[in-house]
Amino acid sequence: MILFGIRSPLVIDYEETLARCGMPLAAAVSIGGVPRLLDRRVLVDLADFVAPPGASFLAPAFAPLRRRELWDQALALGLSPAAALVDPTAVVPRSLRLGAGTFVNAGVVIGGLSILGEGVLVNRSASLGHHCMLGDFVSVGPGAVLAGNIHVGAGSVIGAGAVVLPNIRIGTGAIVSAGAVVRKHVADGTLVIGNPALPHRFNPLKSSLAVEDGE
């Protein structure tokens, strides 16, 4: 396993999950910035990295755009997305469908017949109800609660501790702020804040979750 892009604080969670799963970390590729890494023995600068044939990767970043950028860079180097990484402390159903490159962190609970796309991040102790559908590169923050039959469009963010009520649709590229309670559908590219969650002005080009070097 290769971790591609290692300046996010999330990197150590990936390392811990790999260790709990008994999966060795072959390399951690630094793309820039200060590496956040427990095992410095596997640290490799991008300029010195040679992709081993058939090697697979995960891209540890919280911001969907950043994760997608890392993903595209790794593909260009000949790496392949790894199978989904699920922490052994997570409770997941046998009916769960997981896309490549997805990470389900420690303590997560997911209900039956849920579908997670490629490159999804579900962070610590989040809870996803039955029949949830998360599009590619969605990020779910720690402790967020998504009730049953939730649909989250590609590239959207559900902040830490947010609550999404049943049967809600969240559009692509939307942001649900930390602690928000979502009672109505959220349109594409919309930021919602508060309880009840209401739309606020949002410039995606200036968001820390959207800029090219955001984590």
Instruction: State pLDDT tens for residues 99-125.
Output: 999 999 999 999 999 999 999 999 999
In a domain, 133, yes or no: no
In a domain, 18, yes or no: yes
HSE toward the beta carbon, residue 177, CA cutoff 13 A: 15
In a domain, 154, yes or no: no
In a domain, 92, yes or no: no
In a domain, 126, yes or no: no
Q: How many domains does the chain have?
A: 1
pLDDT of residue 207: 58
Instruction: State pLDDT tens for residues 8-44.
Output: 999 999 999 999 999 999 999 999 899 999 999 999 9
Residue 72: exposure state from Cβ atoms within 10 A (0-12, 13-18, ≥19): exposed
In a domain, 30, yes or no: yes
Domain that holds residue 15: 2-81
Residue with tokens 């804040």, as numbered in its chain: 193
